[in-house]
A and B are shown apart, each in its own frame.
Chain A
């Protein structure tokens, strides 16, 4: 399985952009990079995923390094509701398409 490294915690100010990094240097060429977040006392919520190209959706943007060994989740304007644990998860054929969660990054947002 591809190993991931994420900061244990990060802080952001409300309405400012947030860049959440993830290193996945052992990622396989066919692994997708998934990002999920988990708010307190809730199940994880899908945020975004991509393979090689940068991806945008209504929640966030995903910037994938050209060598795919790292990626960055970008929240363009953090709100208090974005305070959560963010998980970066490579997933592909080696994992049978399964999502194996690591420890993630706990993001706190200050008003």
Chain B
């Protein structure tokens, strides 16, 4: 069966520090991968999605970047965190296409101080 792993679960980082969040999927190949962010008390915002290795699409301009170095690995990064980067970051995967559901990871709660 397919599983999605996301870590760390919580993270407290100072302003200006770098960030690296990792997401891996097991039990499937060539998944579509997604990064979402949920600010406190708000809805989920799609940040990036990827349909294959090295293919990254950005949904909103921001201080973050994403990379997909391997088929089932998706990384969210920042060179210098801002206070506004605080939030709940969620990785998700799907088989691609609207006829398939998404499976979300358990999320990383990031607090920038």
Contacts and interface: CB of A to CB of B under 8 A. Distances in A.
Contact of B98 (A31, A102, A103): A31
Contact of A101 (B44, B94, B101): B44
Contacts of A100: 46
A43 B43 contact: no
B105 A46 contact: no
Interface string B74-113: 0000000000000000101010111111111111010000
A21 interface: no
Interface string A29-58: 011101010100111111001010000000
A17 interface: no
Contacts of B107: 42-43
B32 interface: yes
| Number of chain B interface residues as a range | 20 to 34
Given A30-B98, A49-B99, A93-B98, 13 more contacts: A41-B109, A42-B106, A44-B92, A45-B104, A46-B103, A91-B98, A97-B97, A98-B46, A98-B49, A99-B102, A100-B46, A101-B43, A101-B45
B97 A43 contact: no
Contacts of B43: 101-104
20 contacts: A32-B98, A34-B101, A36-B102, A42-B107, A43-B105, A43-B107, A44-B90, A46-B101, A46-B103, A49-B101, A92-B98, A95-B98, A96-B49, A97-B94, A97-B98, A98-B34, A99-B46, A101-B36, A101-B44, A101-B46
Contacts of B97: 97
B102 A46 contact: yes
Nearest to A49: B101
Contacts of B34: 98-99
A91 B45 CA distance: 15
Contacts of A46: 101-103
The 6 closest A-B pairs by CB, nearest first: A43-B104, A101-B44, A46-B101, A91-B98, A97-B98, A92-B98
Contacts of B32: 97
